[in-house]
Amino acid sequence: MQTKASDYGINTITIDGTAAGAALDAYNSPAVVITPPMDYGQRTLTAGQHTLTLTVTGKNASSVGYFAGLDYVDLALVG
């Protein structure tokens, strides 16, 4: 889940450098809201360390900032 607000930008998420899901325009006005759960697809991960990166790539013309908020990541074992 991510946060949306009037001062939030457009962001992308990658896992180990590979895009996960589509870009999110996190602008919302006037209230701060939390997105519903978002599906970033499935990945096969090997044992060991992995990197999740959230990058702000721009902003909605109505946004007054470039903030981003990642509230939590829920991982599930599939199969």
pTM of the model: 0.88
Q: Look at residue 64 and tell me if it is in a domain.
A: yes
- Domain count of the chain? 1
Q: Look at residue 43 and tell me if it is in a domain.
A: no
Q: What is the amino acid identity at position 48?
A: G
Q: Look at residue 61 and tell me if it is in a domain.
A: yes
pLDDT digits (tens, 9 = 90+) for 20-52: 999 999 999 999 999 999 989 898 999 999 999
Confidence band for 61, pLDDT divided at 50, 70 and 90 = very high
Three-state SS string over the chain comes to: CEEEECCECEEEEEECCEECCCCEECECCCCCEECCCCCCCCCCCCCCCCCEEEEEEECCCCCCCCECCECCCCCCCCC
Q: Look at residue 44 and tell me if it is in a domain.
A: no
Q: Look at residue 77 and tell me if it is in a domain.
A: yes
